[in-house]
Amino acid sequence: MSGRHDSSLNAGRARLGQVEAWVFDLDNTLYPASCDLFAQINRRINAFLSNFLGVDPAEAREVQQTYIQAHRSTLRGLMVEHGLDPEIFLDYVHAIDHSVLPESPALDRALGRIEGRKLIFTNASLSHAERVMERLGVRRHFQEVFDAAAAGYVPKPEPEAYERLVSRHRLEPRTTVLFEDIARHLKPAAALGMTTVWVRNGVDDAGADRDYIHHVADDLVAWLEAAAAERGGAGRLAPC
Ligand SMILES: [Mg+2]
């Protein structure tokens, strides 16, 4: 699928009342970065690399950066450069303590006020996504999870991952919204014509190039409540 970024921008700001599908990143988007869950994953990634490559943690961090630059993700780097079975990596890095995640009745309520399909789009594994959703108490809202395996282990922000998502779930980009805490992961979505919401959690800095960010949510629950009000005709949600 092709999509010109300049022409997609205005379409991406379409009224939220027309949205039919709501796609959410998982980690640090559905829960605050302060929960420290993703920090646990990062420590496991470092430990895996260190053990697998036989290097110290500092060198493992350097290797991780080169993988992310060259291959977009640590996992992809290990697969391309070492032929690693991705499930071995995913099982290891997601073997964390999910109990640090608090239940979120407020998110549960806000998601319940939004009509339409709701999906998870994550570079992580399905089992990790299931555990996070269960802990938060929001599992019932999500009909579909598009995980690393579903994407053929092609990670965000590779455009191919988004194209596979759209194809697999028959999404119409112009009536689809993507929520993400990593700003650069929104760019391919905007290029396809999706509306983008950057969930600003204090970890990622969007930098100068922000034209692919249509909305900013400093508080996901509050943003969803406002979107629900707009869809009910009770006001207008201002773009960023
Ligand atoms: Mg995230």
Q: Map out the domains of the chain with their CATH numbers.
A: 5-31+101-231 (3.40.50.1000), 37-93 (1.10.150.450)
Give the up-direction half-sphere exposure of residue 90: CA atoms within 13 A in the CB hemisphere. Answer: 19
pLDDT digit string (tens) for 177-209? Answer: 999 999 999 999 999 999 999 999 877 776 646
pLDDT digit string (tens) for 204-215? Answer: 776 646 889 999
**Cα 24 to ligand 1 centre (Å):** 9
**Measured distance CA(228)–CA(207) in Å, rounded:** 29
**Cα 72 to ligand 1 centre (Å):** 14
Longest dimension (CA), the chain: 59
What is the pTM for the complete model shown?
0.88
**Cα 233 to ligand 1 centre (Å):** 30
**Cα 28 to ligand 1 centre (Å):** 5
Peptide bond before residue 157 is cis, with ω within 30 degrees of 0: yes
* Residue in the structure block whose two tokens are 């806000």: 110
Residues around the ion ligand 1 (C-beta < 5 A): 25, 27-29, 181
Helix, strand, coil percentages in the chain from 3-state DSSP, rounded to 5: 50, 10, 40
